[in-house]
Amino acid sequence: RKEVEQDPGPFNVPEGATVAFNCTYSNSASQSFFWYRQDCRKEPKLLMSVYSSGNEDGRFTAQLNRASQYISLLIRDSKLSDSATYLCVVNRGHNFNKFYFGSGTKLNVKP
C-alpha cells in the first residue's frame, strides 16, 4: 500500500466553483502534513501546511483527520490560475525527516 494516496483526477470545474481534494496516508505515526502546488514542467511549491485544528489561507482551507488518516484541501471561488496539480505530502518524524508524496490531483479550471 502506498504511503500517501490521492485521486489523480482530473477535476474539471468552472471558474467560481468550489472544489475539494482528499488524500489518505497509511502510517499513523505521520507527524506533519502539507499541500503543494505543481504547475506543468515546474517544481512543486508549498501551498500550505495542514494543522490539527484546520487552517485557512484566503480561498484555501486545509483539514486534518488523524482518526481516519486523511487530509483535505478545499478551494473556494476557483480561478483559472488555480489550474495545476496538487500534491499531498506527509512527514513521518522523530529523527527521520523524510517526506512522502502523493502522485497528485490535477485540477483544470475552465472559463
Partner 1 sequence: DGGITQSPKYLFRKEGQNVTLSCEQNLNHDAMYWYRQDPGQGLRLIYYSQIVNDFQKGDIAEGYSVSREKKESFPLTVTSAQKNPTAFYLCASSGHRTAEDQPQHFGDGTRLSIL
Binding stretches for partner 1 (CB under 8 A): 31-32, 34, 41-46, 49, 87, 89, 91-95, 97-99, 101-104
Least Å distance between CB 46 and partner 1? Answer: 5
Nearer to partner 1 (CB atom), residue 42 or residue 79: 42
Closest C-alpha to 21, from 73, 90, 76, 61:
73
Nearer to partner 1 (CB atom), residue 86 or residue 109: 86
Q: How far apart are CA 16 and CA 111, in angstroms?
A: 9
Least Å distance between CB 38 and partner 1? Answer: 9
Nearer to partner 1 (CB atom), residue 9 or residue 17: 9
Nearer to partner 1 (CB atom), residue 1 or residue 94: 94
Least Å distance between CB 93 and partner 1? Answer: 3
Question: Burial code of 28-67, b = ≥16 C-beta within 10 A, e = fewer?
Answer: eebeebbbbbbeeeeebeebbebeeeeeeeeebbbbbeee
Instruction: Record the cell numbers describing residue 53, joined without a space.
Output: 485544528
Entry field: residues in the chain: 111
